[in-house]
Amino acid sequence: MTRYFSLLFVILLISCSDNTKMAFLSPPSIIPKPQKLEVREGSLTLGATMTFYSDPEFGLAKQFISEYLLPNGIVLEPASEEKAFWVLKKDTLLSKEGYTLEVSAKRIIMTARDPEGAFYGMQTIRQLLPPTFENGNLKESKGISLPLVKIEDTPRFSYRGMHLDVGRHFYGKEFIKKYLNYLAMLKMNYFHWHLTEDQGWRIEIKKYPELTSHAAYREETLIGHYNDAPQQFDGERYGGFYTQEDVKEVVAYAQKLNITIIPEIEMPGHAQAAISAYPELGCSGESVPVATQWGVFEEVFCPKEETFTFLENVLTEVVALFPGPYIHIGGDEAPKSHWKNCAHCQALIKKEGLKDEHELQSYFIKRIESFLNEKGKAIIGWDEILEGGLAPNATVMSWRGVQGGIEAARQQHQVIMTPTSFCYFDYYQSEDPNEPLAIGGFLPLEKVYGFNPVPTELSKEEASFILGAQGNVWTEYMDTEKQVEYMVFPRILALSEVVWTGPAKDPTHTYAEFASRVETFHQRLDALGVNYAHHLYKLISMIEKNDGQILYKLQTLSANKKIKFQKDYGEIQTYQDPIPVQKNTVITAQVFDEEKPLGTIVKDSIIFHKGVLGDINLQPEPHPNYSAGGKEALINGRLGSSTRYGDSEWLGFSGEDVTITIDLGKETSFSNVNLRFYHAPGQWIYAPKEIRLYASEDGTHFSQVDRKILDNNETLVHAHFHIPNTVTKFLKLEIPNYGKIPDGQQGAGNRAWTFVDEIIIE
């Protein structure tokens, strides 16, 4: 922070101190939240014509705001800096992309160091104006006023991105422009355009016309979920692509919004559509169709000279279209089976002295990097590009977690964080069973809001390599533009705040406060016609054990709301204290604004079985991403969602054998032990093949009671031990991991995940 900023802040405090009412003024709902925002009593009325001075460097900001105001009947007229009602001037002491904004009772003064900051200042003004301005309503211009504010603002991260996969489903250029508008409104500055996929190649390459005449179309598309058995297809040809003229138009549009576009041309994997058009690019040379279902495909580019020639020709055309500094070359999910069986690939490994196929992938990426570096472009790749050795100048996009990002930062490579657990906007955002079909996972708004792109294990120096973060939008289950909006909003609001304002950290920067701004922001989204998801009024319920008692707790994440509930369909009560539970119980509850019900009613059934008051031990601990409910979640009387393994009842274990021991507290008699496993091969989750149950009197010497072989052909796999009149104090379950994921399946070769929810002892 510059000296100028601190001085300004002192003046701010002084000028506010004689305004005793200031504390009661509600701050405007700006997203992302400015770093410093002071509100004063009063407002500034805008005229239908306003004199405006702008530093000549800030043409984009001026153009943006003139075009924004004009349809609302407000015209900006040029004037000198001294005379203008609205001034936008340069201040070289501000930080990069930063700006200040002062709306006083007389005029508007804005400062910025660079054109980006000036543009972001205008996005803030925009959010101070009535939401109806979004759709340009001439009638609104009379008597419009701005609240009196003083703002100092600057982004926490230099990379604030959103991605969109146009391969699985295709969206026309007009939607891409709309998407860019959303990004700009939220001060995001990178659009990662995922242009090539197994299911469709989406960018015109003049030298290879079959990429668009053939590879941009598939014969049909999977209907329903990948995990459905049997899979079904719609029988309809599907596709589309952007011409180079379309791309130029979109790039020019993005430039006006301060957005850099990063095109992604996937290699060596996710290349089946390209290989379908040009089979000689694959190892076998055999013809393959453009993929019609989702997943990871064995068909990858073969690192032959003619493949490199092809890719270099493609990239030459791509480089000419995109002026930004980066080209994304993919690098993720490239199965190595074809390379293992290919004489050319094996000869190349020998010739180049490579250790294995991972080093061959590294060789592939390094060659492409060197070609692009010579053309003045830097590469970005998914975190698999770490395997076999990073290309010297590559930026890593860490998606399989943050570990790849940590490793890359330690190797002094730049990193963009996009871990599935916080940044995958294709995951479900609610536990509501009526949510539109999604790929899986669970990423509610509050979790995105809680994201910190900088892992705590990094030193300060290492942390400086984290450029920022990005939301990824994989579109297997988003066949319409409306569905893209639904999955993106409101999670993009939370992410924009993480990357602009910085991770949530102090009491003024809480999810409840953010949620109340989102609630207000709905008006703007409505005016924009955005199809956003709305789960702000959902209830969070928890089960806690206290002094041998089970307590059911309810919580709403929105501020100033109350909760009403019924226990076993009895009297409706206002929730104040945790509800004691002593038997099987049904709780129904809803959030209220005074007497007005909001959101949906939740219904929770608590199974008061013989394990709920016990103690539990797990070996090993669940994976940190799937341990929300802690080990107690397995004996808290509550089942997980049947469609969201990421909720707080399911625990996930990555590749390990699991042992669960339950101490029932005293000799207990029971006849049944029931449990469930999640089984979703598309997400690398497999129910175990067998499980074993043991009993013990002393917690040390266990004897086997029963063993179950499980069939895993449904999403929920039930294990049911019927053991009449068993009496024991300790129970143990051994759950061997499924093992390596078989060839031909998603994640083949990796060890499977195990997910388990409740162990019901009756």
Q: Site residues (CB under 6 A) for ligand ACM? A: 332-333, 382, 399
- Chosen from ligand ACM, Zn ion, none, partner binding at 166 (C-beta under 5 to 8 Å by type): none
283 binds Zn ion (CB under 5 A): yes
- Chosen from ligand ACM, Zn ion, none, partner binding at 382 (C-beta under 5 to 8 Å by type): ligand ACM
Q: What would the two tokens of residue 359 be? A: 């080093």
| Residue (338 or 447) nearer to Zn ion, CB | 338
CA–CA dist 525, 243 (Å, integer): 30
Q: SS3 for 527-569, per residue?
A: HHCCCCCCCCCCEEEEEEEECCEEEEEEEECCCCCEEEEEECC
| Residue (355 or 603) nearer to Zn ion, CB | 355
SS3 601: strand
CA–CA dist 106, 445 (Å, integer): 39
Q: How far is the CB of 403 from ligand ACM (least distance, A)?
A: 14
- Chosen from ligand ACM, Zn ion, none, partner binding at 283 (C-beta under 5 to 8 Å by type): Zn ion
Piece of 101-109, 186-194, 345-353, 357-365 that binds Zn ion (CB under 5 A): 345-353
| Residue (210 or 332) nearer to ligand ACM, CB | 332
Q: What would the two tokens of residue 387 be? A: 């395997």
Provide the residue type at 13 as one letter: L
Q: How far is the CB of 281 from Zn ion (least distance, A)?
A: 10
- Chosen from ligand ACM, Zn ion, none, partner binding at 567 (C-beta under 5 to 8 Å by type): none
Q: How far is the CB of 61 from Zn ion (least distance, A)?
A: 51
- Chosen from Zn ion, ligand ACM, none, partner binding at 663 (C-beta under 5 to 8 Å by type): none
Handedness of CA 310, 313, 319, 321 (dihedral sign): negative
Output DSSP code: residue 203.
Answer: B
The interface with Zn ion within residues 286-315 (CB under 5 A) comprises: 302
275 binds Zn ion (CB under 5 A): no
**Are the beta carbons of 183 and 191 closer than 8 angstroms?**
yes
Q: HSE on the CB side for 260, CA within 13 Å?
A: 14
Q: How far is the CB of 746 from ligand ACM (least distance, A)?
A: 10
> Residue from 205, 257, 342, 391 that binds Zn ion (CB under 5 A)?
342
Instruction: With residue 11 as reference, give the H or E element that holds it.
Output: helix 3-17
| Residue (160 or 192) nearer to ligand ACM, CB | 192
Q: How far is the CB of 443 from ligand ACM (least distance, A)?
A: 13
Piece of 7-15, 146-154, 187-195, 341-349 that binds Zn ion (CB under 5 A): 341-349
- Chosen from Zn ion, ligand ACM, none, partner binding at 102 (C-beta under 5 to 8 Å by type): none
Q: How far is the CB of 330 from ligand ACM (least distance, A)?
A: 8
CA–CA dist 66, 71 (Å, integer): 9
- Chosen from ligand ACM, Zn ion, none, partner binding at 359 (C-beta under 5 to 8 Å by type): none
**Are the beta carbons of 642 and 680 closer than 8 angstroms?**
no
| Residue (345 or 439) nearer to Zn ion, CB | 345
- Chosen from Zn ion, ligand ACM, none, partner binding at 315 (C-beta under 5 to 8 Å by type): none
The interface with Zn ion within residues 531-550 (CB under 5 A) comprises: none
| Residue (165 or 431) nearer to ligand ACM, CB | 165
| Residue (385 or 633) nearer to ligand ACM, CB | 385
Q: How far is the CB of 334 from ligand ACM (least distance, A)?
A: 10
Piece of 44-52, 329-337, 343-351, 489-497 that binds Zn ion (CB under 5 A): 343-351
Q: How far is the CB of 355 from Zn ion (least distance, A)?
A: 17
Q: How far is the CB of 331 from Zn ion (least distance, A)?
A: 17
Tell me the DSSP string of 315-376: HHHHHHH--SSEEEEE--S---HHHHT-HHHHHHHHHTT--SHHHHHHHHHHHHHHHHHHTT
Piece of 109-117, 279-287, 437-445, 702-710 that binds Zn ion (CB under 5 A): 279-287
CA–CA dist 419, 512 (Å, integer): 24
The interface with Zn ion within residues 461-480 (CB under 5 A) comprises: none
- Chosen from Zn ion, ligand ACM, none, partner binding at 500 (C-beta under 5 to 8 Å by type): none
| Residue (133 or 301) nearer to Zn ion, CB | 301
Q: HSE on the CB side for 668, CA within 13 Å?
A: 22
Q: Which long-range contacts (CB under 8 A, 24 or more apart) does 21-30 make?
A: 25/147, 28/127, 28/128, 28/147, 28/149, 29/127, 29/516, 29/517, 29/520, 29/521, 30/124, 30/127, 30/128, 30/517
Give the gyration radius of the chain's Cα atoms: 29
CA–CA dist 444, 155 (Å, integer): 24
Tell me the DSSP string of 682-739: GGTB---SEEEEEEESSSSS-EEEEEEE----SSEEEEEEEEEEEEEEEEEEEE----
Piece of 275-283, 410-418, 481-489, 494-502 that binds Zn ion (CB under 5 A): 275-283
- Chosen from ligand ACM, Zn ion, none, partner binding at 302 (C-beta under 5 to 8 Å by type): Zn ion
Q: What would the two tokens of residue 165 be? A: 């996969």
CA 746 to chain CA centroid, Å, is 21
Q: How far is the CB of 490 from ligand ACM (least distance, A)?
A: 22
- Chosen from ligand ACM, Zn ion, none, partner binding at 514 (C-beta under 5 to 8 Å by type): none
| Residue (333 or 485) nearer to ligand ACM, CB | 333
| Residue (341 or 703) nearer to Zn ion, CB | 341
Q: How many C-beta neighbours within 10 Å does residue 486 have?
A: 21
- Chosen from Zn ion, ligand ACM, none, partner binding at 333 (C-beta under 5 to 8 Å by type): ligand ACM
CA–CA dist 129, 304 (Å, integer): 58
345 binds Zn ion (CB under 5 A): yes
- Chosen from ligand ACM, Zn ion, none, partner binding at 631 (C-beta under 5 to 8 Å by type): none
CA–CA dist 465, 591 (Å, integer): 43
* Spatial CA neighbour of 149 closest among 128, 135, 174: 128
**Are the beta carbons of 679 and 754 closer than 8 angstroms?**
no
Residues 6+ apart with CB under 8 A from 108: 44, 85, 86, 87, 101, 102, 125, 146
Q: How many C-beta neighbours within 10 Å does residue 544 have?
A: 12
Q: How far is the CB of 326 from ligand ACM (least distance, A)?
A: 16
484 binds Zn ion (CB under 5 A): no
Q: How many residues bind Zn ion (CB under 5 A)?
A: 5
| Residue (261 or 302) nearer to Zn ion, CB | 302
Q: What would the two tokens of residue 466 be? A: 């984290």
| Residue (345 or 349) nearer to Zn ion, CB | 345
C-alpha angle with apex 121: 96 to 249, nearest 5 degrees? 85
Instruction: With residue 125 as reference, give the H or E element that holds it.
Output: helix 115-128
- What residue is closest to ligand ACM based on CB? 332
- Chosen from Zn ion, ligand ACM, none, partner binding at 708 (C-beta under 5 to 8 Å by type): none
CA–CA dist 522, 533 (Å, integer): 10
Piece of 116-124, 254-262, 336-344, 699-707 that binds Zn ion (CB under 5 A): 336-344
408 binds Zn ion (CB under 5 A): no
CA–CA dist 4, 15 (Å, integer): 17
| Residue (304 or 400) nearer to ligand ACM, CB | 400
- Chosen from ligand ACM, Zn ion, none, partner binding at 342 (C-beta under 5 to 8 Å by type): Zn ion
Q: What would the two tokens of residue 317 be? A: 């055309």
Instruction: With residue 503 as reference, give the H or E element that holds it.
Output: none
- Chosen from Zn ion, ligand ACM, none, partner binding at 345 (C-beta under 5 to 8 Å by type): Zn ion
Residues that bind Zn ion (CB under 5 A): 283, 302, 342, 344-345
